A and B are shown apart, each in its own frame.
Chain A
Amino acid sequence: MFAYYLDLALRSLKRNKVLTALMVIAIAVGIGASMTTLTVMHLLSGDPLPGKSGTLFYPQVDPDPSPKATHLPYDMMDYRSALDLWSAHRADRQAMVTSSQLRLTAPQVNLPPLMVQMLSTTSDFFPMFDVPFRYGSSWTAQDDQNRTRVAVISSNLNDKLFNGANSVGRTLRLKDTDVRIIGVLAPWRPSPQFYDVTGGRFSNGDTASFYSKPEDVFLPLQSSLEINAGGFQPFTCWSMPDDPVHLQNSTCVWVALWVQLDSAAKVDSYRRFVADYAAQQKALGRFGHADNTQLRSLMAWLDFNQVVPSDVRLQTWLAFAFLLICLFNTVGLLLAKFLRRAGEIGVRRALGASRAMVFAQCLVEAGLIGLLGGAGGLLLTLLGLRLVRSQPIEYADLVHLDTTMFLATFALAIAASLLAGVLPALRASRMAPSLQLKTL
């Protein structure tokens, strides 16, 4: 029966090519627009560390000593609080992070000096965030303590400086200090670059920079503080710092702490630990507020910072409104098409087809239009994504169509066209056969 309906649908579609083309194009455009934005949305709002993100947390304290009206805790920590919490080693893993820019030269490599982004962190960073290594390995906790002059570099930088060869053991000059490369990362592109996300609520939705590439050089925090002294920028300061070069004892927040907590019980106890720490610091007179602490999970922290750029969200809504209009359009055209075939439907009904059969036949035709529209929509989606990729935005290189979204394109197209077909099919199946036969 289905094959027969399919045959009928094909014949019907061929009979009025203009109308068919109009409907297919309408569905294709609607699907193309919504799948393009949905794919971007899907890529930007996804979980950067699937399966692991639930165990990662971002503690915050309020190191401002003044007792003035409370605000939310700062997005980063002052050095001393971060160091205290980190050194306590109360979590399963913990890493401090702060990012800065510095000049890099590679001796023996004939390239002009580069300005690169450096991430200063601690050894747990790599296992905690499942960072993949291509050559060598990360430094150890011992290196953190000994302020060893070692570095891990990104695969990008390794390609640029050493043409992708194993560069472990070679030397880089960072500002005026030589460091030894001990590890080279495999290509690693978390989306967003979650561990650096801060200040989203002050960005007015312009958050594309959260999707930039990870830093090119990773250094033990203590070593980097000496190498790049003065190169660190505070996130903000609660009062003018006395010494803008050495931020370690300053009145500024500029270091973030990430912790891994493997069970709910550990999360509770760590939450208490942070609160106790704040209370203790208040008692010491260093903090103004003890109760202003937070321990957000990775995904909650990303939500809090509204990482998906507002332009992308707006475009997604727009695309769906667009699809809705295309659907209205298709409903209207299908209605015109089915009612025009009143005579034919009358004959079929008179020859014994039930209402349900006519209804099914009409829906098969609508579904076929959806399938064709889906194919067109897929082409338009690929075109749309190519357009997004050619934009000079940070997340351009992340944009691609994965299997889920590929299948979703067709699912959405067929679902949309079936939905559009319900009303016209219902109307067509309700026609009284006798009336139609009379007019033949």
Chain B
Amino acid sequence: MTVHPIIAALRRHKAGVVLIALQIALTLAIVCNAIFIIGQRIERVNQPTGMHEENDLFLITQQWVGAPSADDPAGVEKLDSMQQADLAALRNLPDVVSAAPIRSLPLLHSGSVGGIGLKPLQQKDTIDSNFYYGDEQALPTLGLQLIAGRAFTSADIQHKPMRDQSEPVLAIITQPIADKLFPQGNAVGKVIYLDSSSTPTTIVGVVARLQSAVDTAGSSLTWYSALFPVRQDANFSRTVVRAKPGRLEAAMLAVRPALYTVNPMRVIDEEHGVRSFADIRADAYRADLGMAILMSVVCLILLSITAAGIVGLTSFWVGQRQRQIGVRRTLGARKIDILHYFQLENLLIAGIGAAIGILLALGLNLWLIIHFEMDRMPVIYVLIGVLAVLVLGQAAVFVPARRASNVPPVVATRAV
């Protein structure tokens, strides 16, 4: 079949052709950018934190009532023994594997960030990093993957008031920090300086991955984390607990009674005092997930509206051309020829629409980059979009085209 007669016919329906083509172009532009946004958000939501079996973890945040002041040494010792007593009670719970004091957890959106430098009293820190503080149980409790050096032992652990400004002696850093600061490798045993201080901190181990506790908006800080062997004492405490597999709920329920038995003078917030990590994660990514769902719904509705438009307009054309179809059938065209005619016609229009749509899509992406700090969209998304609108066009045109192919040749002889 030649394309020539199709183009000749389309010339007589310019307005309709332009409308469908434009609609397809706009749909393509929006759908492939939307899919790109969905892809990005899903990728962000699914990235691992670096913690193994993180769904068995939960976090306890509590505050003591009438706690001694952390500003004098006696108060610090008292706070530390209170914290130790809590830890012992938690570790003794039947459904608990391990527990560790911790300053923060990945995705908690509350944590401590500091600078790491390679020289003492460095004016500007080399990198910014998340600072995690915990004891010797922190690494196994979090389930971090140690890839070089060693974990902390109980002999390494210091305890000091949270506001203490002295720097820890030892550190475990993540691989991205090791790669950045020591590109030649062998970070273990090297010395770093925290927050432009003059006292060195020695790296004893490297873990593969540990995500940031604060919202980093995708900057390199996301994967720059350091863990220090320090149990921090303050009038509040945070504890990360790993429950036995499948026993998370039981373990979380047992926490409040156990802690109140140790010391009733405390506040454990009703809602956020005992939080599963799954909850923390869901909270952190709620907006991203919402956006992804919204975009998916938008895509679906857009595609259905465009499909409905194609069905409507093609149906109209089929009705209008009943007699021409009848004539063609009389002159020997088979049903399949008529079907192909309408399919090819649609492919042509959708093709023109897609060509304009590619330009629009790239333009829209550029606009999003300027105004919403989006990344450049890979070509693959445009290709997926083109394929989607072409398939959509073919699917939408099929029903009216079949109706056209069923027009009996005798129509041509009527009412001429």
Q: Which residues of A are in contact with B by a Cβ distance under 8 Å? A: 19, 22, 25-26, 29, 33, 103, 112-113, 115, 176, 204-206, 208, 240, 244-245, 310-311, 313-315, 318, 321-322, 324-326, 328-329, 331-333, 335-337, 339-340, 391-393, 423, 427
Q: Which parts of B1-51 form the interface with A (CB within 8 Å)?
A: 15-16, 19-20, 22-23, 26-27, 29-30, 34
Q: Which among A176, A333, A391 is the interface contact of B312 at CB below 8 angstroms?
A: A333
- Are A112's CB and B267's CB within 8 A? yes
CB-CB under 8 A from A113, the residues of chain B are: 65, 267
- Answer whether A336 and B267 are a contact pair too, CB < 8 Å, given A115-B63, A245-B163, A329-B308: no
B298 within 8 A of partner (CB): yes
Distance (Å) between the CB of B217 and the closest chain A CB? 4
- Are B23's CB and A336's CB within 8 A? no
Q: Which parts of B158-179 form the interface with A (CB within 8 Å)?
A: 163, 165
Could you tell me the distance between the alpha carbons of A313 and B371 in the complex, rounded to whole angstroms?
10
- Answer whether A335 and B23 are a contact pair too, CB < 8 Å, given A29-B301, A322-B298, A326-B305: no
CB-CB under 8 A from A33, the residues of chain B are: 298, 301
CB-CB under 8 A from A328, the residues of chain B are: 19, 22-23, 26, 309
Could you tell me the distance between the alpha carbons of A65 and B27 in the complex, rounded to whole angstroms?
55
CB-CB under 8 A from B267, the residues of chain A are: 103, 112-113, 115
CB-CB under 8 A from B319, the residues of chain A are: 340
CB-CB under 8 A from B312, the residues of chain A are: 19, 22, 329, 332-333, 336
Q: Count chain A CB atoms within 10 A of each CB in B66, B71, B302, B309 and give the residue with the most.
A: B309
For the residues of B in contact with A, the DSSP-based class is helix
**Stretch binding the partner chain, chosen from B95-103, B220-228, B286-294:** B286-294
CB-CB under 8 A from B22, the residues of chain A are: 328
Could you tell me the distance between the alpha carbons of A325 and B301 in the complex, rounded to whole angstroms?
11
B280 within 8 A of partner (CB): no
CB-CB under 8 A from B372, the residues of chain A are: 205, 310, 313-314
Q: Which residues of B are in contact with A by a Cβ distance under 8 Å? A: 15-16, 19-20, 22-23, 26-27, 29-30, 34, 63, 65-66, 71, 163, 165, 195, 215, 217, 267, 269-270, 283, 286-287, 290-291, 294-295, 298, 301-302, 305-306, 308-309, 312-313, 315-317, 319-320, 368, 372-373
Q: Which among A326, A340, A423 is the interface contact of B316 at CB below 8 angstroms?
A: A340
Nearest opposing residue in chain A for B364, CB measure: A321
Q: Which among B215, B306, B368 is the interface contact of A325 at CB below 8 angstroms?
A: B306
CB-CB under 8 A from B34, the residues of chain A are: 318
Q: Which among B29, B65, B298, B313 is the interface contact of A336 at CB below 8 angstroms?
A: B313
Distance (Å) between the CB of A226 and the closest chain B CB? 15
What total of A-B pairs shows CB separation below 8 Å?
A: 109
Distance (Å) between the CB of B312 and the closest chain A CB? 5
CB-CB under 8 A from A339, the residues of chain B are: 316, 320
Could you tell me the distance between the alpha carbons of A315 and B294 in the complex, rounded to whole angstroms?
9
CB-CB under 8 A from B165, the residues of chain A are: 240
- Are A325's CB and B63's CB within 8 A? no
CB-CB under 8 A from A176, the residues of chain B are: 66
Distance (Å) between the CB of B317 and the closest chain A CB? 8
- Are B16's CB and A335's CB within 8 A? yes
CB-CB under 8 A from A326, the residues of chain B are: 305
- Are A29's CB and B305's CB within 8 A? yes
Q: Which among B19, B195, B287 is the interface contact of A311 at CB below 8 angstroms?
A: B287
Q: A115-B63, A115-B267, A332-B309 are in contact. List 13 more A-B contacts (CB 8 A).
A: A26-B309, A103-B267, A245-B71, A311-B291, A325-B26, A329-B23, A329-B305, A329-B308, A332-B19, A336-B312, A336-B315, A391-B286, A427-B15
CB-CB under 8 A from A423, the residues of chain B are: 15
Distance (Å) between the CB of A400 and the closest chain B CB? 20
Q: Which among A245, A321, A325 is the interface contact of B305 at CB below 8 angstroms?
A: A325
For the residues of A in contact with B, the DSSP-based class is helix
CB-CB under 8 A from B298, the residues of chain A are: 33, 318, 322
Distance (Å) between the CB of A288 and the closest chain B CB? 16
- Are B20's CB and A332's CB within 8 A? yes
- Answer whether A240 and B294 are a contact pair too, CB < 8 Å, given A103-B65, A206-B287: no
Q: Which among B15, B26, B63, B287 is the interface contact of A321 at CB below 8 angstroms?
A: B26
Q: List 19 A-B contacts (CB under 8 A).
A: A29-B301, A103-B65, A204-B215, A205-B373, A206-B215, A208-B287, A240-B195, A325-B23, A325-B26, A328-B22, A328-B23, A328-B309, A329-B308, A332-B19, A333-B312, A333-B313, A336-B316, A337-B316, A339-B320
Q: Which among B26, B71, B313, B368 is the interface contact of A332 at CB below 8 angstroms?
A: B313
Could you tell me the distance between the alpha carbons of A22 and B308 in the complex, rounded to whole angstroms?
7
- Answer whether A332 and B306 are a contact pair too, CB < 8 Å, given A321-B26, A339-B316, A340-B319: no
Could you tell me the distance between the alpha carbons of A240 and B165 in the complex, rounded to whole angstroms?
10
CB-CB under 8 A from B63, the residues of chain A are: 103, 115
Nearest opposing residue in chain B for A342, CB measure: B320
- Are B269's CB and A318's CB within 8 A? no
- Are B65's CB and A332's CB within 8 A? no
CB-CB under 8 A from A311, the residues of chain B are: 287, 291
Q: Count chain B CB atoms within 10 A of each CB in A176, A336, A427 and give the residue with the most.
A: A336
CB-CB under 8 A from A29, the residues of chain B are: 301, 305
Q: Count chain B CB atoms within 10 A of each CB in A103, A115, A310, A328 and give the residue with the most.
A: A328
Nearest opposing residue in chain B for A202, CB measure: B217
- Are B15's CB and A329's CB within 8 A? no
Could you tell me the distance between the alpha carbons of A115 and B269 in the complex, rounded to whole angstroms?
8
Could you tell me the distance between the alpha carbons of A393 and B286 in the complex, rounded to whole angstroms?
9
Nearest opposing residue in chain A for B316, CB measure: A336
Could you tell me the distance between the alpha carbons of A33 and B302 in the complex, rounded to whole angstroms?
11
Could you tell me the distance between the alpha carbons of A245 and B30 in the complex, rounded to whole angstroms?
52
Could you tell me the distance between the alpha carbons of A240 and B194 in the complex, rounded to whole angstroms?
12
Could you tell me the distance between the alpha carbons of A176 and B66 in the complex, rounded to whole angstroms?
8
- Answer whether A325 and B27 are a contact pair too, CB < 8 Å, given A29-B301, A206-B215, A315-B294: yes
When A and B form their complex, which 8 residue pairs have the shortest distance between CB atoms, in order from nearest? A336-B316, A204-B217, A329-B309, A332-B19, A328-B23, A113-B267, A333-B312, A332-B313
